[in-house]
Amino acid sequence: MSSTIIFDLDGTISDPKDGIVRSINYALEAHGFDSRAEAELLTCIGPPLDASFRELLETADESLVNSLVKKYRERYADVGFSENYLYEGVFGSLRSLYDEHPLAVCTSKPAAFARKIIEMFDLDGFFEFIDGGDVGVSKVTQLSNLLSMERVGPGSVMVGDRMFDLKAAHENGLSSVGVLWGYGSFGELSAQKPDIMLDKPQDLFRVVELLD
């Protein structure tokens, strides 16, 4: 099985802030809660959505959490996915990498939403597949499943902007690349000891240094 460069989506390929923040507040308000300031919700970009709602409301009520997720996705499916911006330099870097190596996406958001975003930016031709998550499924499990199904090889690399991406890579024996243009701080990423840290999308060519 060939080595694959596996990309996170939110905060790595595109900036999803507006759609995520507005959709979270839509869900909160629909359930009678006050909306939250944008700055407070930036930590929700990256983790699984259900985990973010549990933390925001300090709740263990799974029925409430599932209802919030459902309401969030109602708005996100309609308009939230389109409130997304491609990071400058990503398209060119993906095009260069695609010429030589298999590329894929592994994101915590449902695959249907991820595909809509990837297609919106005309990036779908670059990726072998797009793997999406769901409530209760960690990125560790997602990568483990991809390896067990031999959709990616053991010499593959995970590229992401949050600790969840790097932790998932390490727990599955993969190399990791932390990117600093997304929503994870230098401290958060460096604590996970990535093999490489990148400052800008134009540096993504360095990922090939880690491929077996």
Q: Read off the pLDDT of residues 155-181 as tens digits, 9 standing for 90 and up.
A: 999 999 999 999 999 999 999 999 999
Q: Are strands 196-198 and 175-179 parallel, antiparallel or unpaired?
A: parallel
Convert the pLDDT of each residue in 2-50 to its tens digit. 799 999 999 999 999 999 999 999 999 999 999 999 999 999 998 889 9
Q: What CA–CA distance (Å, rounded) separates 137 from 2?
A: 25
pLDDT (0 to 100) of residue 182:
96
The full 3-state SS of the chain, as one line of letters, equals CCCCEEECCECCCEECHHHHHHHHHHHHHHCCCCCCCHHHHHHHCCCCHHHHHHHHHCCCCHHHHHHHHHHHHHHHHHCHHHCCEECCCHHHHHHHHHCCCCEEEECCCCHHHHHHHHHHCCCHHHCCCEECCCCCCCHHHHHHHHHHCCCCCCCCEEEECCHHHHHHHHHCCCEEEEECCCCCCHHHHHCCCCCEEECCHHHHHHHHHHCC
Average pLDDT for residues 80-85, to the nearest whole number? 96
pLDDT for 188 equals 96
Is 90 exceeded by the pLDDT of residue 69?
A: yes
Cα(15)–Cα(33) distance, integer angstroms: 26
Q: How far apart are CA 29 and CA 35, in angstroms?
A: 6
Look at residue 212 and tell me whether its pLDDT is greater than 70. Answer: no
> Does pLDDT of 1 surpass 70?
no
Report pLDDT for 136: 80
Which residues participate in catalysis according to the annotation?
8
All structural domains of the chain, each given as residue ranges with its CATH number in brackets, are: 5-15+85-210 (3.40.50.1000), 17-82 (1.10.150.240)
Statement: residue 211 has pLDDT above 90: no
Q: What is the pLDDT of residues 97-127, one digit of tens each?
A: 999 999 999 999 999 999 999 999 999 999 9
Average pLDDT of span 57-76:
96
Radius of gyration of the chain (CA): 17
CA 89: distance to chain centroid? 18
**Which residue matches tokens 């300031």?**
37
Whether residue 73 has pLDDT greater than 90: yes
